Chains A and B, each alone.
Chain A
């Protein structure tokens, strides 16, 4: 089975929600990956749509490079609504 490609599986649990990563399957092609994903991850109507993506086509950030990669967003507090203080009289905004 090692010669079978690994696919990551994403399931949309309900209409209107994002697809979410649920796990992976091995398969000889995309069609089989889809069938395996259905059998493995949606046995109890957990989804309305499935994506299967070959794992080796995913480019991921290393989770250890947190500081380097995400540094630009760390010191920009003014990007958050909570940065802007409004007088109570203005009410909800």
Chain B
């Protein structure tokens, strides 16, 4: 989900005969579920695709702090504020795990962040929606982190070792996020006023479809999906993951006593899954292209953070240099 559209550079899959001996050996390893490590030989396309995917994923974690940061000073209680800050700190951590994994591929962190600021690198479309009321903090934790977990649990088995290990760490921490979100909503529905209950439904109405969009477009026969699957960077299709998410989320939605803004959502006895309506793909592509409600604001905030923090980084380098000279003199 965090990587919604990753270009692999592939026009079609190579046959075994067309591959060089190194590439064949690489594929045999991937097929045998042997993790690829930084020093192993890998096809250039595999490396580039991973840099794109992992950097998108890292940017998503970092930009993902902003919608929640909006509510730190407005959290209703000290307990909620502490929980929210812990969650945001985790997201900063997740971004860092991922940037580190990306760096093992020879990519430069600053360069990739610069691509984000120039609009050349993507991040998840979900973080371009505003967080308008306190229930949004609940809905973000429950739906957005919930969707992230579905995707990330599968990515623990991705073929690149450092990415897989980052995913394992992230998944361990992520379930706290989803539970704290759901608990916010449960408390509001159980103990809240009518107005507060209406806020919960309103938050779900606004975030339901964007959460489903997190899994990306329908899987077609596109060479990108096929290539990512063949390299085992991707382990399950977007549609499969979206269905898993819906199937596990609808009972939780019903337990809350809320509804989804989708008249076509209903249990299908035959398939054993929920049927659901068509996503507004025009909206998805618009947001991805930079025209969502908050795209410009998010990038501006990130740029400001880097620019205005420059003096701190420079001071740290100057301090380290001075300490080194003192140590040499002594």
Contacts and interface: CB of A to CB of B under 8 A. Distances in A.
Nearest to A24: B100
A23 B97 contact: yes
A89 B86 CA distance: 61
Interface string B79-91: 0000000100110
Nearest to B101: A23
Contact of A28 (B37, B40, B169, B319): B319
Contact of A43 (B93, B100, B317): B93
B39 A60 contact: yes
Contacts of A39: 89, 93
Contacts of B320: 28-29, 32
A6 B110 contact: no
A50 to B, nearest CB: 15
Contacts of A23: 97, 100, 165-166, 169
B39 A62 contact: yes
B39 A4 contact: no
28 contacts: A1-B109, A1-B110, A2-B109, A2-B110, A2-B111, A4-B313, A4-B316, A4-B317, A6-B103, A22-B169, A23-B97, A23-B165, A23-B169, A24-B103, A25-B96, A28-B316, A29-B316, A29-B319, A29-B320, A29-B323, A32-B316, A39-B93, A43-B89, A44-B173, A60-B39, A64-B39, A64-B40, A64-B41
A48 interface: no
A60 B90 CA distance: 31
Interface of A: 1-4, 6, 22-26, 28-29, 32, 39-40, 43-44, 60, 62-64
A28 B93 contact: no
Query: Which secondary structure dominates where chain B touches chain A?
Result: helix
Given A4-B317, A29-B319, A43-B93, 5 more contacts: A24-B103, A32-B316, A40-B97, A43-B86, A63-B40
Interface in B177-219: none
B286 interface: no
Interface in B156-170: 165-166, 169
Nearest to A9: B100
Q: Which of B86, B103, B108 gathers the greatest number of chain A CB atoms within 10 Å?
A: B103
A88 B273 CA distance: 57
A30 B173 CA distance: 27
A87 B39 CA distance: 46
A77 to B, nearest CB: 24
Contacts of A60: 39
A26 B324 CA distance: 17
B90 A43 contact: yes
B189 to A, nearest CB: 29
Contacts of A4: 313, 316-317
Given A4-B317, A32-B316, A40-B96, A26 B39 contact: no
Contacts of B89: 39, 43
A6 B96 CA distance: 12
A1 B313 contact: yes
A68 B323 CA distance: 43
Interface string B257-289: 000000000000000000000000000000000
Nearest to B22: A64
A43 to B, nearest CB: 7
Contacts of B37: 63
B317 A3 contact: yes
B33 to A, nearest CB: 16
Contacts of B166: 23
A39 B90 CA distance: 10
A2 B108 contact: yes
Contacts of A28: 313, 316-317, 319-320
Contacts of A29: 316, 319-320, 323-324
Q: Which of B93, B111, B320 gathers the greatest number of chain A CB atoms within 10 Å?
A: B320
A29 B40 CA distance: 30
Contacts of B323: 29
